[in-house]
């Protein structure tokens, strides 16, 4: 791998104009594809093969108007008046008549005629049905519907429009990427001591994100892509793009500080740091693509979109960045006497007045009493992880929409006036084709549903044209994400065999609420198998890289510990309400269902990044004969500064998506920000040194038979070193070859 990347880096440096032109051509092609094929995102959640989705697919064929999305129009009379007063009732009916003629509407339910009136007779709830799903609505359909409320408003009624036709996951701003980039620029400037050098990782990261976002926009015309997928891809692409460029550019400047020729330095930086970047990126890509095992299409697309962003970030870092190094030339070389040059000498232990780096001091503190450090970190993180026991999962609804939005006000009004269940009615499909008396079977089913625990109302059955099936709307007493609503869905499914035996009707429950419940249950049941896959993958990859038994076990257990603490923090904020107002959380309740598996996939890749860059230097020192504690300090000395910078950048990018983020993205961004902070600073930079110092030489033990079986990935470029001639004292003169394996991870300072 190192030899290939060496040639790639040198080629990109020499042919920098061609490389830059190639990436500009890719950007141009992506823009052209967006203009030609681009479509819109689709936030519909489906689980192929689930009971609710199967029933929904049947409804789409038999009764499309019931299978499509719907909107609600809530009318509230002025204080002291009833909605049934003639002038208000007439205004409601007039509004519903106009709504019936709105674009794409296939039917309405007039609340006055159908007596959908609140118990206090102050409000009415009208329903507007669409034959298409929410993704199939035209851009102006809902706007046109809102304009039909004029007669009711003119009569003095308060009118709110909401329902499942409205999404709850729209972002409220577009400055989050800029906020993260600004913080990244500050951190990079401090890290490099040069504004010119700091701008280069940002430039390449933004280029990679641009290619990714344009590519996803082009694919929306041919694939179903949720609005969260591009946000996740941009968040990941910016974070890893900056980090990977930071690693490689640090290595390049480390070479330049020794007097190496710029071309040779760029080639060797790409060969060595580039190898670690490829490995680190591969772990993230595999983990994200592994989301496909959950078998939920929208989650698979999110994972693949994130993986594509990481893949492009790796490609940009190993091709475009060396080309930009060629354009920059000697301007990236630290000037003699500058802060960057002094820091280089300090890390090498050379020069006058050299002192210990902050990373080395932190490492010494961690291993001074390793057992005490280990216990302190364990107790602290386990305490943070305690709330994770109460983790509840659900998909967002309009109850978590931004306060003040029309759909949120409609949701709250319906809950207050009619009951929370009216925001998430269930659809019960009864196939009576094999029933001796279809009418009697449907009537018996309606009677049983009315007496079921947790049912607030049962609407009149809607018989399908061929007369052999009926659709019954069942309104729960509780909201769409409430556990009692899930229990009601399960009760109906449990009773289906009994109804079939007694009446001959085949009963299934569907609707948006039931579909979302099935999605959440599928995700919850996939959490443990997915965790086992991720942990198993980490064990295998780290075993190959570090050729040690203890290092993979320690890394995997540390990863699980950081994930548990992250979930605990999420529950404390988004379910318990701690710091909710400060973070702009509009409503506490169940956590978005996709968060656990998605966060585990992303954090796994990032944790392996930090593990590789921290422990590789420790292993190298150990291989060259250093004692266990000295090897640990060598890793802390050379890796901590860049790992700290990388983690701070990651934290800043993820945290920038919290304010103004969508209902779905906000908890994910929070979890990733907290997870990165915990894993980088408490696990990799504190717990890892303590454990390796505690176990001593046993930390690098590997059975001989296993050592012979494992392939040599040559992450450190030892083969390339063997292929290169080495000189004596002049080996660091400009243009002179330098052993790639020598001081490999000094780029991590």
The radius of gyration of the chain's CA atoms, rounded to the nearest angstrom, is 30
My answer on whether 3 and 106 are in the same domain is no
CATH value at residue 121:
3.30.70.600
Judge contact between 166 and 77, C-beta under 8 A: no
| 48 or 174, which is more confident | 48
| 410 or 605, which is more confident | 410
Residue whose entry in the numeric block shows the structure tokens 């280990």? 374
Q: Any residues with CB less than 8 A from the CB of 135 and at least 6 apart, and which?
A: 40, 41, 42, 43, 44, 224
Instruction: Express each pLDDT in 163-172 by its tens digit.
Output: 888 865 444 4
My answer on whether 141 and 187 are in the same domain is no
Decide if 283 is inside a domain: yes
My answer on whether 526 and 441 are in the same domain is no
| 286 or 45, which is more confident | 286
pLDDT of 340 reads 58
Report the first-to-last Cα separation within the chain, whole angstroms: 23
Query: What is the pLDDT averaged over residues 545-574?
Result: 90
Q: How many domains does the chain have?
A: 4
User: CA-to-CA distance for 694 and 528, rounded, in angstroms?
Assistant: 30
pLDDT of 693 reads 92
My answer on whether 38 and 182 are in the same domain is yes
| 678 or 225, which is more confident | 678
pLDDT of 724 reads 54
Structural domain harbouring 207: 1-43+176-330
Query: What is the pLDDT averaged over residues 538-551?
Result: 82
Query: What is the pLDDT averaged over residues 603-613?
Result: 81
User: CA-to-CA distance for 639 and 375, rounded, in angstroms?
Assistant: 24
My answer on whether 526 and 674 are in the same domain is yes
CATH value at residue 489:
3.30.70
When pLDDT is cut at 50, 70 and 90, the band that residue 735 belongs to is: very low
Indicate the helix (H) or strand (E) that contains 469: strand 469-476
pLDDT of 662 reads 67
pLDDT of 272 reads 81
When pLDDT is cut at 50, 70 and 90, the band that residue 453 belongs to is: very high
At which of 484, 510, 536 does a domain end?
Answer: 510
My answer on whether 669 and 591 are in the same domain is yes
My answer on whether 137 and 252 are in the same domain is no
Neighbours of 368 (CB within 10 A): 12
Query: What is the pLDDT averaged over residues 249-264?
Result: 87
My answer on whether 180 and 133 are in the same domain is no
Do the strands 591-592 and 393-394 form a parallel or antiparallel pair, or are they unpaired? parallel
**Quick check: 24 pLDDT over 60?**
yes
User: CA-to-CA distance for 234 and 649, rounded, in angstroms?
Assistant: 14
Q: Whole-structure pTM over 0.85, yes or no?
A: no
**Quick check: 661 pLDDT over 70?**
no
Decide if 664 is inside a domain: yes
CATH value at residue 285:
1.20.1640.10
Instruction: Express each pLDDT in 92-131 by its tens digit.
Output: 999 999 999 999 999 999 999 988 999 999 999 999 999 8
Per-residue DSSP letter, 452: S
**Quick check: 353 pLDDT over 90?**
no
Indicate the helix (H) or strand (E) that contains 476: strand 469-476
Judged by average pLDDT, the poorest of 129-143, 165-179, 495-509 is 165-179
**Quick check: 473 pLDDT over 80?**
yes
Decide if 349 is inside a domain: no
Judged by average pLDDT, the poorest of 8-17, 187-196, 421-430, 466-475 is 187-196
Residue whose entry in the numeric block shows the structure tokens 């609407």? 459
My answer on whether 161 and 120 are in the same domain is yes
pLDDT of 126 reads 94
When pLDDT is cut at 50, 70 and 90, the band that residue 733 belongs to is: very low
My answer on whether 135 and 277 are in the same domain is no
**Quick check: 403 pLDDT over 80?**
no
Decide if 448 is inside a domain: yes
At which of 485, 510, 535 does a domain end?
Answer: 510
Decide if 719 is inside a domain: no
Tokens of 419: 């009951």
pLDDT of 477 reads 93
The torsion angle over the Cα atoms of residues 36, 40, 41 and 45, rounded to 10 degrees, is -120
Decide if 690 is inside a domain: yes
Query: What value does the mean pLDDT of the chain take?
Result: 83
Phi and psi of 392, rounded to 5°?
-120, 140
My answer on whether 100 and 239 are in the same domain is no
Rounded to the nearest angstrom, the gap between the alpha carbon of residue 75 and the centroid of all alpha carbons in its chain is: 38
Judged by average pLDDT, the poorest of 174-178, 220-224, 621-625, 707-711 is 174-178
At which of 330, 345, 371 does a domain end?
Answer: 330
Neighbours of 436 (CB within 10 A): 9
pLDDT of 723 reads 55
Query: What is the pLDDT averaged over residues 515-528?
Result: 85
My answer on whether 504 and 461 are in the same domain is yes
Decide if 748 is inside a domain: no
The torsion angle over the Cα atoms of residues 37, 515, 168 and 69, rounded to 10 degrees, is 70
Instruction: Express each pLDDT in 295-326 by its tens digit.
Output: 788 788 888 888 999 999 999 999 999 999 99
pLDDT of 609 reads 77
When pLDDT is cut at 50, 70 and 90, the band that residue 527 belongs to is: confident
Residue count of the chain:
749
Neighbours of 13 (CB within 10 A): 25
Residue whose entry in the numeric block shows the structure tokens 């008549």? 97
- Kindly give the interhelix angle for 370-385 and 358-368, rounded to the nearest 10 degrees: 90
Decide if 91 is inside a domain: yes
pLDDT of 715 reads 59
User: CA-to-CA distance for 550 and 177, rounded, in angstroms?
Assistant: 39
């Amino acid at each position: 791998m190192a030899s290939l990347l060496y040639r790639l880096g040198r080629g990109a440096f020499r042919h920098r104009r061609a490389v830059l032109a190639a990436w500009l051509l890719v950007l141009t092609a992506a823009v052209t594809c967006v203009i030609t094929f681009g479509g819109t995102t689709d936030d519909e959640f489906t689980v192929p093969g689930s009971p609710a989705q199967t029933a929904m697919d049947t409804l789409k064929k038999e009764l499309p108007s019931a299978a499509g999305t719907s909107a609600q129009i809530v009318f509230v009379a002025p204080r002291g008046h009833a909605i049934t007063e003639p002038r208000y009732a007439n205004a409601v009916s007039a509004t519903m008549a106009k709504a019936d003629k709105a674009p794409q509407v296939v039917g309405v339910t007039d609340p006055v005629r159908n007596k959908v009136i609140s118990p206090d007779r102050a409000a009415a709830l009208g329903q507007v049905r669409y034959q298409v799903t929410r993704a199939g609505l035209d851009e102006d359909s809902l706007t046109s519907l809102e304009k039909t409320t004029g007669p009711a408003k003119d009569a003095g009624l308060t009118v709110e429009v909401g329902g499942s036709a409205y999404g709850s996951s729209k972002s409220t701003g577009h400055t989050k990427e800029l906020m993260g980039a600004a913080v990244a620029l500050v951190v990079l400037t401090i890290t490099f001591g040069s504004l010119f050098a700091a701008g280069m990782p940002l430039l390449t990261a933004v280029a990679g994100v641009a290619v990714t976002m344009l590519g996803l926009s082009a694919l929306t015309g041919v694939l179903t892509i949720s609005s969260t997928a591009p946000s996740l891809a941009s968040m990941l692409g910016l974070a890893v793009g900056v980090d990977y460029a930071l690693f490689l550019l640090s290595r390049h400047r480390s070479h330049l500080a020794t007097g190496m020729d710029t071309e040779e330095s760029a080639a060797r930086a790409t060969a060595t740091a580039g190898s670690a970047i490829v490995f680190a990126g591969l772990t993230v890509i595999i983990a994200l693509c592994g989301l496909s095992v959950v078998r939920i299409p929208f989650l698979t697309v999110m994972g693949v979109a994130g993986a594509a962003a990481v893949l492009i970030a790796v490609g940009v870092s190993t091709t475009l960045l060396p080309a930009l190094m060629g354009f920059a030339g000697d301007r990236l070389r630290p000037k003699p006497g500058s802060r960057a040059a002094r820091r280089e000498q300090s890390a090498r232990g050379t020069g006058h007045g050299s002192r210990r780096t902050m990373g080395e001091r932190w490492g010494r503190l961690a291993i001074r009493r390793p057992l005490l450090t280990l216990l302190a970190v364990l107790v602290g993180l386990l305490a943070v992880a305690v709330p994770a026991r109460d983790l509840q999962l659900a998909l967002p609804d309009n109850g978590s929409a931004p306060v003040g939005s029309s759909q949120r006000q409609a949701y709250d009004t319906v809950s207050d006036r009619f009951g929370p269940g009216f925001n998430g009615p269930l659809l019960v499909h009864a196939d009576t084709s094999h029933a001796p008396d279809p009418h009697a079977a449907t009537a018996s089913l309606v009677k049983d549903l009315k007496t079921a625990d947790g049912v607030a109302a049962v609407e009149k059955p809607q018989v399908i044209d061929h007369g052999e099936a009926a659709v019954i709307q069942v309104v729960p007493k509780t909201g769409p994400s409430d556990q009692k609503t899930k229990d009601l869905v399960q009760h109906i499914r449990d009773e289906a065999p009994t109804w079939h035996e007694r009446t001959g009707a085949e009963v299934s429950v569907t609707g948006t609420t039931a579909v979302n419940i099935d999605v959440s249950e599928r995700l919850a049941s996939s959490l443990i198998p997915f965790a086992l896959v991720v942990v198993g993958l980490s064990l295998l990859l780290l075993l190959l890289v570090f050729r040690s038994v203890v290092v993979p076990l320690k890394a995997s257990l540390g990863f699980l510990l950081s994930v548990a603490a992250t979930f605990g923090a999420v529950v404390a904020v988004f379910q318990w309400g701690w710091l909710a107002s400060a973070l702009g959380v509009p409503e506490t309740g169940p956590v978005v269902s996709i968060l656990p598996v998605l966060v585990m996939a992303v954090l796994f890749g990032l944790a392996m990044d930090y593990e590789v860059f921290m422990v590789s230097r420790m292993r190298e020192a150990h291989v060259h004969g250093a004692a266990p504690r000295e090897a640990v300090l060598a890793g802390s000395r050379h890796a901590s500064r860049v790992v700290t910078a990388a983690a701070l950048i990651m934290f800043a990018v993820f945290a920038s998506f919290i304010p103004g983020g969508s209902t779905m993205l906000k908890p994910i961004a929070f979890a990733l920000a907290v997870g990165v902070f915990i894993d980088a600073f408490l696990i990799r930079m504190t717990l890892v040194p303590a454990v390796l110092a505690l176990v001593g030489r046993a930390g690098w033990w590997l059975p001989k038979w296993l050592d012979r079986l494992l392939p040599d990935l040559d992450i450190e470029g030892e083969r390339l070193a063997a292929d290169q001639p080495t000189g004596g004292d002049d080996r660091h003169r400009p243009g002179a070859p330098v052993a790639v394996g020598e001081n490999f991870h000094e780029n991590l300072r």
